[in-house]
Each structure stands twice: as C-alpha cells, then as structure tokens.
A and B are shown apart, each in its own frame.
Chain A
Amino acid sequence: MTLHLTQISLTHANGVQALRGVDLHIGAREQVAIIGPSGAGKSSLLNLLATALRPGDGELQVLGERAWQLSAGQRQRLRARIGLIHQSPPLPPRQRVVTAVLAGKLGQWGLGKSLLNLLYPLDIPGARAALARLDLSDKLFTQCQQLSGGQLQRVGIARVLYQAPEVLLADEPVSAMDPVLAKHTLSVLCSHAREHNVTLVASLHAVELALAHFSRIIGLRDGQILFDLPASAVDRELLDTLYANEQLERSPPPPAHLSVQIPRC
C-alpha cells in the first residue's frame, strides 16, 4: 500500500472541519481522481497525503512510513519522495522558470549543489526536457511573473515531473488551462505515472476529465468519502448526489495571512 489512511480527521486553524473519519487505501501504481464540490476537502486531503498538513486524528501511512511519527529529518527525506502539484503554484515572481523547475530536486540535492544551482543552472537539459513534455520549453529563461496562470500551472507540473517522486499528488492541476491543453496535460501526467511506476492522485473539478483519464474515482463531500468506485461504475445519479446544492456550499478557507508592513530604523 502506498497511501494508507485510517480514520483521518482534520480541522483547520479557523475551526472548519475539513475531513472527518476518512478511510482510504491506495496501492502502488494506481491512478485515482478525487472529485467533489468546492469546499468538500479535496485540497485538504491532498495536502494531508503530501504530509503538508498534520491530521488531527487518525493514522497516515505514506510509502510504508508513519509520516508523523518520524523525526523532522526523516520526514524531509520522505517528503522528497512525494510530489504535490499546486492549483496555483506559489513561485517567486522574479524567479526564472529554469530555477523554479530545477528547485524540484532540492530535497535530493545537498546545500552546496542547491546554492551553486542558484548561481548557474546545473541541469538545463533536464529542465528543458520536463518543460518540453508540457510544450513550454521556449519559456525556459523567462521570469515567472511574465507567465499566464495556465503557463504557471505547467511550470509547477514540470517542477514535480523533474522531482520524479514515487507518489504524485495533483491539486486541480489543469484548472487554469483551456480544454485541449487540460486534456493533453492530464495525459502527460498519466503516462508519466505509468512509465515510472508512480502512484497518481489528482483532484479535478471537471468530472468528464476525471472519468476519461482515471480508472478509480473518489467522490468527496463534506469531508467524507461519498463513493469510491471504478470509473465505469460512476453514473449520473451518483454525481447528482455528489454535487447537490453546490451553490449553497461554503467557500473554501481563506488564503494564508500576509502582512506587508516593514518598520525601518
């Protein structure tokens, strides 16, 4: 079992209960899509699987290790084997694309190599190859602030592809792309996962894309798993229950607090 969740609950700092009593088992090389209305806990679940959030209750095993019983150093080494694609990848605006992509391997490089790479990109062909799969190799030396939302998403994907993790998690990886590009990008992700024996878990808001590319679909609603079925067994009725009254759902938790006050002298 690659990912093993037992009775996981998660409450955010603002008191919103994101997940309640989730049991989930995902084996190696499986390709799983998570669908559900906004605020259902899709992002929370993926962040939890990536060990970016600590569960309040329950047990989480990733790649056979109990992530939160490890020491900080061991957990960092475990994290280097997990890749999380963010919906809007947080990249420094003035960082060049090549640096942003090569940063994927920071967990595997030592400090000396990381700092040297900041002065001169050490693996330009590697970054170019990762970007080329997403049709973005011409933007190698552009600053991130000059890219559109969809291009930034592809840079974020290229970083994780370059990281070459054993578990690939993707939080709405194609939300800012047009339908053709979204389809292409998802098939790149799926074929990468197949070629490298990677476990792939992606949350998607487009149900058709999920059904077309993934063999196993998990429906998440109100922090609980509503259904966990093969794609062929998901029908209209199930989807209607999943998305019932979507307009009435509460909005997702607000973004992280940011202050820009800098005292001088």
Chain B
Amino acid sequence: MLTSGSRDPAVLPRLLLTLLAIALLWPGIHYSELDLSVLIASDSRSEMGRFVSAFWPPAHDETFIELLLQATLQTLAIATAGMALALLLAIPASLLASRALSLSAASRAGRPSYWGQLLRWPVRGLLIFLRSVPEIVWALLFVRAVGLGPTAGVLAIAITYSGMLGKVYAEIFESVDQRPAHTLLQSGSGRLAAFCYGILPNVSAELLSYTVYRWECAIRASVVMGFVGAGGLGQQMDLSLRMFAGGEVASLLLTFLVLVLLADQLSRLLRWRLT
C-alpha cells in the first residue's frame, strides 16, 4: 500500500504528461495522412528503384565537374554572405532582447523591472516576425523584386536567419551564470562592458557552435532556394532532376555530404580551440 509518506509526488504529473503526449501524437498521424504501407507497394517500389539505380555512376565528366564547382562556390557564397548580413541585425537585436544586459536585474536578484520587460517585447516581436516567414517565401518574393540569381537567396537567408540567430543568441546569453555580469554592473561598469567581461567568456563556445551549425543550415537552405531560381547548387539540382540525370543528382548529393562534413569539422575545430 502506498502511504503519502512513501509516494513520489512527481508520479502524477509525469503520468499525465505521458498521456498528453500520446493524445497529441494520434491526431498528428491522422492529419498528416501518414501511411507507411505505400512504401511496400510493388509499383512504387520499382519506381523508386529505377530512379535510384540511375544514380550510379555519379556524373564526373569535365564540363559537369566545372559546373558543379562553380555552383558549390556560389552556394557557399550565398550562405556566407547571408549569414554575415543576418549577424549584422541579429547581434544588436539579441543584445536588446536578452535580459542579460538588464541593469535593473542586477539589483533585483536577477529579475528585470517591468518597464525593461515591456521594452524588450517589440524587439522580440520583430525577431518573431523575421523568422516566422520561411526563407523560401522570402526568396520567391525577392526573385520577383531583384530577378533570378543569388542576390535573392542572400537576402532571404539574411532576413530569416537574423530572426533565428537573434532569438537563440538572446537565450544563450540568459542561460549562463549571470552573476559575473551582475557583479560588474554593481561595481559601476557599463552594460556592454559587463556583457563582454561577464557573459561572453561563458557563451563563446556555444555561440560559435550554433553559428557554424546555422551556417550549415544556410548552405542547405540556399540549395532549397535554388529550386525557385536563387542560384547555386539548388538550381543545378533542379535542372538535373528535370532532365532525369540521376548521375548528376548523385554528384550533387555527394557534394552536399562533403559540405556538411566540412562544416561539422570546422565547428569541432573551433570548439576545440576555444575550450
């Protein structure tokens, strides 16, 4: 028999949460019309098999490799330029949106004043707006405005990613020990100086790894946007898929793999240097 003394008070909430998760999962499967049996149906299997069998050998003739190299460079350039523009907006926005720079929090045991919280909301709202519209929609919009080509991709990445980076940066700043910065604020230092001396040393590794990961995502996003005419590997992929050139698709996929692998290694290298 369970007496009130030997019962774990966390049992009931945990049980309810599990039930809630299951209850939420069922309609999800229903509404997404998930039906795994189509994978086993014979005609779709042979269709997929034919498509995949054309992948071998990957295309490697000289003209295509040259085209591939150029497209890869363009994709990297789109991702990097987009990230650089995004950072220009994300860094100031994250500093404004984060509680980490709150002067009032330093003398209120970590809770900022109501005014400060109220003033942070417009910045948060801006970040939410920037990232709530998917980059592909921005890309379609900019393709209309500036014409086909990488510029549309760069702008689309810059806008969406500044929203994501700003939000996550702000949360990273808040997730570490705030006392070093509060101590500095309490001894009269300015907010930005207190941030650089008290928070930045603790978050630099996390910031770096997230930024490199986002750069990797930007590479993938620029590929997707290529399908709507924003240049790079995606545009090449679109052409190859339309022409049913399986070998070219395989080469392009291998290039993605190498790019992601490189981004991963870069992140690892930078983290190792910093920690």
- On whether A13 and B111 interact (CB within 8 A), knowing A76-B190, A79-B186, A92-B202, the answer reads yes
Contacts of A5 in B (CB 8 A): none
Nearest CB in chain A to that of B193: its residue = A114
Interfacial residues of chain B within 158-183, with CB under 8 A of chain A in the complex = 164, 168, 171-172, 174-180, 182-183
- On whether A95 and B171 interact (CB within 8 A), knowing A107-B188, A115-B196, the answer reads no
B186 touches A111 (CB 8 A): no
- On whether A84 and B180 interact (CB within 8 A), knowing A114-B196, A261-B175, the answer reads no
Complex-state Cα separation, A78 to B186, whole angstroms: 10
Contacts of B230 in A (CB 8 A): none
Confirm or deny: B140 has a beta carbon within 8 angstroms of a beta carbon on chain A. Answer: no
Contacts of B178 in A (CB 8 A): 256
- On whether A264 and B210 interact (CB within 8 A), knowing A76-B188, A256-B179, the answer reads yes
Nearest CB in chain B to that of A109: its residue = B193
Among B103, B168, B187, max chain A CB count under 10 A is at B187
Determine which of A78, A81, A86, A165 lies in contact with B183 in the assembled complex, contact meaning CB atoms within 8 Å: A86
- Against B, the Cβ 8 Å flags (1 = close, 0 = not) of A77-119 are 1111111101001111111000100011011110100110010
Contacts of A103 in B (CB 8 A): 184, 189, 197
Contacts of A256 in B (CB 8 A): 109-110, 178-179
Complex-state Cα separation, A256 to B184, whole angstroms: 16
- On whether A80 and B188 interact (CB within 8 A), knowing A90-B183, A92-B201, A261-B175, the answer reads yes
Confirm or deny: B192 has a beta carbon within 8 angstroms of a beta carbon on chain A. Answer: yes
B168 touches A263 (CB 8 A): yes
Complex-state Cα separation, A78 to B187, whole angstroms: 9
- On whether A81 and B177 interact (CB within 8 A), knowing A54-B107, A92-B201, A106-B197, the answer reads no
Number of A residues near B (Cβ < 8 Å) is: 49
Interface SS of chain A: loop
Confirm or deny: A72 has a beta carbon within 8 angstroms of a beta carbon on chain B. Answer: yes
> Shortest Cβ distance from B263 into chain A, in angstroms?
15
Complex-state Cα separation, A95 to B183, whole angstroms: 15
Confirm or deny: B232 has a beta carbon within 8 angstroms of a beta carbon on chain A. Answer: no
Nearest CB in chain A to that of B190: its residue = A111
Complex-state Cα separation, A163 to B187, whole angstroms: 9
Determine which of A104, A258, A259, A260 lies in contact with B187 in the assembled complex, contact meaning CB atoms within 8 Å: A104
Confirm or deny: A183 has a beta carbon within 8 angstroms of a beta carbon on chain B. Answer: no
> Shortest Cβ distance from B44 into chain A, in angstroms?
31
Contacts of B218 in A (CB 8 A): none
Nearest CB in chain B to that of A88: its residue = B179
Confirm or deny: A250 has a beta carbon within 8 angstroms of a beta carbon on chain B. Answer: no
- Against A, the Cβ 8 Å flags (1 = close, 0 = not) of B195-207 are 0111101101010
- Against B, the Cβ 8 Å flags (1 = close, 0 = not) of A59-81 are 00000000000001000111111
Contacts of B187 in A (CB 8 A): 79-80, 82-84, 104, 106-107, 160, 163, 165
Confirm or deny: B71 has a beta carbon within 8 angstroms of a beta carbon on chain A. Answer: no
B186 touches A99 (CB 8 A): no
Confirm or deny: A174 has a beta carbon within 8 angstroms of a beta carbon on chain B. Answer: no
Contacts of A80 in B (CB 8 A): 187-189
Confirm or deny: A244 has a beta carbon within 8 angstroms of a beta carbon on chain B. Answer: no
A94 touches B201 (CB 8 A): yes
B183 touches A89 (CB 8 A): yes
Determine which of B171, B192, B193, B217 lies in contact with A262 in the assembled complex, contact meaning CB atoms within 8 Å: B171
Confirm or deny: A229 has a beta carbon within 8 angstroms of a beta carbon on chain B. Answer: no
Interfacial residues of chain B within 207-224, with CB under 8 A of chain A in the complex = 210, 213, 217
Confirm or deny: A12 has a beta carbon within 8 angstroms of a beta carbon on chain B. Answer: yes
> Shortest Cβ distance from B26 into chain A, in angstroms?
25
A107 touches B201 (CB 8 A): no
Confirm or deny: B108 has a beta carbon within 8 angstroms of a beta carbon on chain A. Answer: yes
Determine which of B168, B201, B213, B275 lies in contact with A95 in the assembled complex, contact meaning CB atoms within 8 Å: B201
B186 touches A50 (CB 8 A): yes
Contacts of A106 in B (CB 8 A): 184, 187-190, 193-194, 197
Among A12, A95, A111, A262, max chain B CB count under 10 A is at A262
B190 touches A114 (CB 8 A): yes
Other A-B pairs beyond A115-B196, A256-B178, A265-B217, 14, CB < 8 Å: A53-B107, A54-B108, A76-B103, A92-B198, A94-B204, A99-B197, A106-B188, A106-B190, A111-B192, A114-B196, A115-B193, A258-B177, A262-B175, A263-B171
A selection of 26 A-B contacts at a CB cut-off of 8 Å is: A13-B108, A51-B107, A52-B182, A76-B185, A76-B188, A80-B188, A80-B189, A82-B187, A83-B187, A84-B183, A84-B186, A90-B179, A90-B180, A90-B183, A91-B180, A94-B202, A95-B197, A106-B187, A107-B187, A111-B190, A115-B193, A118-B196, A256-B178, A259-B175, A263-B168, A264-B168
Interface residues of B (CB under 8 A from A): 103, 106-111, 164, 168, 171-172, 174-180, 182-190, 192-194, 196-199, 201-202, 204, 206, 210, 213, 217, 275
Interface residues of A (CB under 8 A from B): 12-13, 50-54, 72, 76-84, 86, 89-95, 99, 103-104, 106-109, 111, 114-115, 118, 160, 163, 165, 256-265
